[in-house]
Amino acid sequence: MLYSVKMRAAQGAAHEQGGRHISGAERLVLEKELGETVTAMLKRARSHERGPADFINIKVHKLTANNIAVIPALQVVPLVNPTEINIARGYAANLLASFGVSQLAINAAFSHLTNLATSMRGALLLYAHNGLIVPEIDQHRGVRVSNMDAQNSQTYTSWLREQAIDNIHAHEAIILASKVAACPQILAELCWSDDPNYTIGYVANKKTYHRINSLKEAGSDIGGRIFFITEQAAIAAIVDYLQEQPVLIGV
């Protein structure tokens, strides 16, 4: 039986009281792994590059329904290393256009991410055909994807190492993006980190995950995620899938 472990950490005040988001994490682990998982999350929140969190919420619950989906990992395209942010963003924009995202939505996505006053805890949903924000989603919090993990952590880590990927950001992001991509109503994703020194971001579609360096300035603590959704999408079902459906990523 698997347990969902979720962590969210803020500084200054709790998230609900307007605290600054520091870190979040979500795992699906066996009972015997609970202790080490919770300890690692606490340590991470307390020693984060964004600053030490002082309002930390760690939630553990046993999965009750037997409805765990096993989903293949996205294929990872090797990192590209543009020298300038504008080139990196142009590269990401071209990829998104090739995935069927409209120019309106691409412009809206970059505009939202670059105008954030502070990082959100979750992702924004935009309509891929016109770039409008999905109004049902709280724009300050966003949607937090949860209840996902590697099907087998060791196999997954080896698979990443074979591709010369060996860091926690990519480790977690590929799991998250693979869950997101498996949602039928999500066409594509754009992301960059809110950790000041991590400048690699990605764009993903249904099958591939493209790593792109220099998507933001080094030193910036503002990151974010945008999910581009199809016009007819039922929002409640998407949010339910992203937050609740337990998913294991296989390689």
Name the residues that contact Mg ion, by CB under 5 A.
194-195
Indicate the DSSP class of residue 111. Answer: H
Residue type, 136: E
Structure tokens at 240: 């339910």
Q: Does 206 bind ligand WAQ (CB under 6 A)?
A: no
DSSP 3-state helix, strand, coil percentages of the chain (rounded to 5)?
Answer: 30, 30, 40
Among 188, 194, 205, 221, binds ligand WAQ (CB under 6 A): 194
Q: Does 202 bind ligand WAQ (CB under 6 A)?
A: yes
Q: How many CA atoms lie within 13 A of 93 on its CB side?
A: 15
Residues between 141 and 180 that touch ligand WAQ (CB under 6 A): 142-145, 169-170, 173, 176
Structure tokens at 95: 């990829």
Structure tokens at 45: 């929140």
Structure tokens at 169: 């950001």
Q: Does 246 bind ligand WAQ (CB under 6 A)?
A: no
Residues between 80 and 119 that touch ligand WAQ (CB under 6 A): 119
Among 4, 147, 151, 193, binds ligand WAQ (CB under 6 A): 193
How are beta strands 55-62 and 75-80 bridged, if at all? Answer: unpaired
Q: Does 126 bind ligand WAQ (CB under 6 A)?
A: no
228 binds, options Mg ion, ligand WAQ, none, Cβ within 5 to 8 A by partner type: none
The CA distance from 214 to 167, in Å, is 17
Complex with Mg ion: residue 189 or 195, whichever CB lies closer: 195
120 binds, options ligand WAQ, Mg ion, none, Cβ within 5 to 8 A by partner type: ligand WAQ
Among 10, 74, 120, 247, binds ligand WAQ (CB under 6 A): 120
